[in-house]
Amino acid sequence: MNEHVQTASTAPLFDPLSPEFIRDPYPHYERLRTTDPMHQTPLGNFVASRHAEASLVLRDKRFGKDYVERSIRRYGPKIMEEPVFRSMSHWMLQQDPPDHTRLRGLVVKAFTARRVEDMRPRIQQIVDQTLDAIVGQGQMDLIEDFAFRLPVTIICDMLGIPEDHREVFYKSSRDGGRLLDPVPMTPAEIEQANAGNLMAQTYFQQLFELRRKSPGDDLTTQLVQAEEDGSKLSNEELTANIILLFGAGHETTVNLIGNGLLALHRNPDQLALLKANPALITNAIEEFLRYDSSVQLTGRVALEDIDDLGGKKIPKGESVLCLLGSANRDPAVYPDRPDRLDIVRPNVRPLSFGGGIHFCLGAQLARIEAEVAISTLLRRLPELRLDDVENPEWRPTFVLRGLKRLPASW
Ligand code: HEM
């Protein structure tokens, strides 16, 4: 017998970039929750797979981001010389208070429920225009031709990126996701990420110049003005956070729409229910977020020694990886068949947007974009079917879970 053959019970408990994990992480999560819910990986990270510990860590002040220290522990002291890591260290997402509070405070007003609800007509217009261009074709890739265009257009609108600059963003390769995975990157991957970061920095510096000369009603103008004030944000922080908003603003939402459409077509009873009752869309989106989250994990570092977290001691400086996708299927919170898609499930409160001070800024925007995109698609193309429901091609990243393509015809 080949001793390298791994059976389900001998495979490592947490091997997030393995093809089996990427294809279907949920049986692996169940094994983690039931056999070792605070599993420690060979790299020293603790993997919190139950809802109780994952949600506690996100909200507990004894945990923080400690990004620079965390990166040095993982890669060694020279890692902060890599431009892409230096840039990410300025993301609000990677900051602890007080810097996090300052940076988030500069943009939070653009994301209030009211401001986002006001964007609904524009969101509907983009979805309609996208569909107008393809309904006559009889086939499309739901990711590239449909899901991708909406969030990219919306975040370009919000950042004040002129229409004639956008083509390059519509063609972007969406390779940045690897930066977030809990498996160290190779030097070649770091090089590639540096190149992507440099391109983005170069473009956004041009946009800042444009918005300094001709201010608009957009987030870039707002942040450029805050930078000019001198005390509120540095040029490096400005650039890094615009890049964060641009990436966070589309990659995750494309995948919410894609993963949601796949889940619906794998569960024809739920698809039929939603088609017959379009008003169920709001609850259906929460269930899509729970059932197959487009963000699977986010991490925190223990800022002090923790005596007991799910039965384990967490020494100061160690990381806890909160498995959002696993927490979302924890039977302790969802006792009624958590592995089943149920668009009328009551009390769905997925952890997919995180929790605590870093709770996703774009949560409500993402919900409305997905709501409008999926309900309009079902209404305008009721005959649409997926070409391959069983084995669609997933992107090779773990934290950002989404499909490479999802061919469909009608
Ligand atoms: C933070 C998920 C859409 C902007 C987060 C976090 C999660 C998340 C889990 C918290 C990470 C942590 O605690 O470490 C998602 C999902 C989305 C989505 C699942 C779509 C389905 C968006 C959109 C935008 C956005 C549309 C912007 C237009 C941000 C920003 C942060 C963030 C700026 C950092 C907030 C902070 O650190 O205070 N997101 N996101 N996200 N998200 Fe989202």
CATH of the domain at 176: 1.10.630.10
Torsion angles phi and psi, residue 36, rounded to 5: -160, 75
Given the DSSP bridges, would you call strands 38-40 and 306-309 parallel, antiparallel or unpaired? unpaired
Tell me, yes or no, whether 302 lies in a domain. no
pLDDT band at 55 (very low <50, low <70, confident <90, very high): very high
Which pLDDT value is given to residue 170?
Answer: 81
Q: How far apart are CA 313 and CA 210, in angstroms?
A: 52
Span of 11-25, 274-288, 301-315 with lowest mean pLDDT? 11-25
Between 1 and 341, residue with greater pLDDT: 341
For 116-174, the pLDDT digits (tens) are 999 999 999 999 999 999 999 999 999 999 999 999 999 999 999 999 999 888 877 66
Q: Residues with beta carbon inside 6 Å of ligand 1? A: 58, 92-93, 104, 155, 244-245, 248-249, 252-253, 256, 294-295, 298, 352-354, 358, 360-362, 365-366
In this model, does residue 9 exceed pLDDT 90? no
Query: Is the Cβ–Cβ distance between 407 and 387 less than 8 Å?
Result: yes
Residue 359 Cα to ligand 1 middle (Å): 7
Ligand 1 atom nearest to 93, measured from its CA = 37
The number of distinct structural domains making up the chain is: 1
Tell me, yes or no, whether 63 lies in a domain. no
**Which residue range forms the structural domain that includes residue 283?**
76-292+332-409
Residue 51 Cα to ligand 1 middle (Å): 19
Query: Is the Cβ–Cβ distance between 325 and 31 less than 8 Å?
Result: no
Mean pLDDT for all residues in the chain: 94
- Provide the CB-side half-sphere exposure for 219 (13 A, CA): 27
Residue 294 Cα to ligand 1 middle (Å): 11
Tell me, yes or no, whether 49 lies in a domain. no
Mean pLDDT of 103-125: 96
In this model, does residue 219 exceed pLDDT 90? yes
Q: How far apart are CA 156 and CA 258, in angstroms?
A: 20
Q: How far apart are CA 241 and CA 87, in angstroms?
A: 9
For 234-288, the pLDDT digits (tens) are 999 999 999 999 999 888 999 999 999 999 999 999 999 999 999 999 999 999 9
Ligand 1 atom nearest to 351, measured from its CA = 9
Ligand 1 atom nearest to 366, measured from its CA = 26
For 358-377, the pLDDT digits (tens) are 999 999 999 999 999 999 99
Tell me, yes or no, whether 315 lies in a domain. no
Ligand 1 atom nearest to 154, measured from its CA = 28
Tell me, yes or no, whether 10 lies in a domain. no
Q: How far is CA 231 from CA 102, 130, 194, 285, in A?
A: 11, 42, 28, 40
Amino acid at 239: T
Tell me, yes or no, whether 64 lies in a domain. no
In this model, does residue 43 exceed pLDDT 90? no
Tell me, yes or no, whether 66 lies in a domain. no
To test the ligand 1 pocket, which listed residue (295, 360, 367, 369) has its Cβ within 8 A of the most ligand atoms?
360
In this model, does residue 11 exceed pLDDT 80? no
What percent of the chain has a predicted confidence (pLDDT) above 70? 97
Q: How far apart are CA 138 and CA 410, in angstroms?
A: 5
Tokens of 210: 């444009």
Residue 176 Cα to ligand 1 middle (Å): 15
What ipTM, to 2 d.p.?
Answer: 0.98
Tell me, yes or no, whether 265 lies in a domain. yes
Intra-chain end-to-end CA distance of the chain, in Å: 48
